Amino acid sequence: MQEDYQYMRQAIELASQAAGRTSPNPLVGAVMVKNGQVVGQGYHARAGTPHAEINALAVAGSQARGATLYVTLEPCSHYGRTGPCAKAVIEAGITRAVVAMTDPNPKVKGRGIELMRTAGIEVVEGVMAAEAAKLNEVFIKWIATGMPFGLMKTAMTLDGKIATRTGHSKWITGETSRNSVHTLRDTCDAILVGIGTVLADNPELTTRLPNGGKNPQRIIVDSLARTPLTAKVVNDGLAPTIIAVTSDAPAENIAALRAKGVQVLVVSRGSTGVDLRELFSLLGKREITSVLIEGGAAINAAALAANIVDKVYAFVAPKIIGGKTAPGPVGGIGAETMAETINLEEITISLSGEDVLITAYLEAREVRHVYRTCGRIG
């Protein structure tokens, strides 16, 4: 049993190498072991390319016959962009399969395991299931609900300010934290801000890491289509830009943005502007599985109210701004009593250079029951 954990941990580490690259597919790693030796290993690198099991089989070759397969997610049983992995595993002569978690995709969901067992393969389930589910929390949320996994990033001072009373905010956090944010962007499908951020900062919303990284799609919440035609997100061509407006937006503004190559989505109006839940549903249909929310106080408040935030990254700098009018990370009306506050769980606290990073999940979100079935929560 100890060996099972050792090799499954290796498979999870392999899978994580493709973070941010496999969407809308999950992250999957596979290791094949025979007579105590690893004879093949691989991971799913990108949607449309061979899955982890196929890559590991290619390395193992004839040594796969009689081997044990360790895989972080149940092998698929259907034809999609590639063929069914469960069938390939059976044909290769694998005699034992250790599977971390069942695939929550309704097209699979136990069928791959059933196919292997019917073929006479010994299947062991649930080894490091919690770790495997956390690795694929983005995929689990999207496949179970059709909605992207929402990550909210904030950067604030020790007294909870995101800017001075004059609006000055560069830079609250240090270089290490800013690099961490670019790593987050690199692993997410999209980044979302409000029109206020675009008008105030004219940001690029791109990933700037030493090795370049992957630019996420850019989503601007702009109910009246006020995004300037000169804005970087409209003109630089560095990543696709989606602007979410409402029917209140002037038709000529929408037409001008579309003429610049911007995708404009007309979304229903919510209580504070664009209906963010409807927007997330539309993004999910476009196979956008994760959205990093990097807006100001207004967009953060709207996102929390719309129940689209699953995880929070809060960078806290050892600085004090002070002042009653200096803004905090979440605006809106706010809670009247402590009973109405939004609670966080699974809290992790770590150093980020001179700053502190608090990572946490929002309590009782709609996808939590799916995590339970996948093994993330006992």
**Of 53, 74, 137, 294, which one is the catalytic site residue?**
53
For residue 185, give the 3-state DSSP assignment. helix
Look at strands 344-352 and 355-362 and give their pairing: antiparallel
Give the containing element (helix H, strand E) for 121: none
Q: Using alpha carbons, select from 316, 372, 332 the residue that is nearest to residue 162.
A: 316
Please, which residues have CB within 8 angstroms of residue 369's CB and are 6 or more apart in sequence? none
Q: Is 278 a catalytic residue?
A: no
d(CA 29, CA 51): 9
Q: What is the β-pairing status of strands 96-101 and 68-73?
A: parallel
| Residue environment code for 123-140, b if the CB has 16+ CB neighbours within 10 A, otherwise e | beeebbbbbbbbbbbbbb
Question: Could you tell me if 297 and 162 are in contact, meaning their C-beta atoms sit under 8 angstroms apart?
Answer: yes
Contact of 159 with 322, CB cutoff 8 Å: yes
Q: Which residues are catalytic?
A: 53
